[in-house]
Amino acid sequence: MSIDPEKLLEPENMILLYTRGAFPMADEDGEINWYMPGIRAVIPLNHYNIPRSLRKFMKDSSYTYKFDNDIMNVIRKCAEREYTWISDRLIEAYRGLHEKKHLHSVEVYQKNVLVGGLYGVAVKGAFFGESMFSRAQNASKCALVKLLERMKEKNFKLLDVQFLTEHLQMFGAVEIPFEDFEKLLIKSYAEDVYF
């Protein structure tokens, strides 16, 4: 029995898939598939790193930061690249998660202009990071620092970043087997926290 792909994009079903460890990506034709890789990248919230040069940059910069102020615009800006897995249909599906209060963003502003940010999906004590963008120096890195501070402050247990990149490694991101990731998921859902 096949499942209608459109049904999987209904908010309740998307949340269910996220809670099991899956995440969506659109291919070149716009078809949205759900992935659950055997190796997952996370940033340990009890052992992350903020590079000293970035701390100094943030202290000296004129950036201002907001949470959940312009979520859909952040997503659209994340999609503005030559190759993107964030299709128009997926953006529309995210709107449903936004209405259910599971979609969140960190925004970086310079003179009231959105110059960087990131977004993701939160369920209890787990945050599933989806994408980030930068239109000014270190803007996406600054957004990630603000996300890490918020996760720590709110007692989140898991920051999922899906795939390991050099950019994320500098913050302490590591790869773990999916079985360990599942244990972190279970621990996260015991937490009654909100973004």
User: Rounded distance, CA 39 to CA 75, Å?
Assistant: 25
User: Rounded distance, CA 117 to CA 62, Å?
Assistant: 15
* pLDDT tens sequence for the chain (195 residues): 456 768 889 999 999 999 999 999 999 888 899 999 999 999 999 989 999 999 999 999 999 999 999 999 999 999 998 889 999 999 999 999 999 999 999 999 999 999 999 999 999 999 999 999 999 999 999 999 999 999 999 999 999 999 999 989 999 999 999 999 999 999 999 988 988
Q: Is 36 helix (H, G, I), strand (E, B) or coil?
A: coil
pLDDT of residue 83: 84
Would you list the domain boundaries of the chain? 5-189
Q: Which CATH class is domain 5-189?
A: alpha beta
H or E element in which residue 152 lies: helix 139-154
User: Residue 13: exposed, middle, or buried by beta-carbon count in 10 A (0-12, 13-18, 19+)?
Assistant: middle
pLDDT of residue 29: 84
138 φψ region: left (φ > 0), alpha (ψ -120 to 50), beta (else): left
User: Rounded distance, CA 56 to CA 74, Å?
Assistant: 25
pLDDT tens-digit profile of 12-30?
999 999 999 999 999 988 8
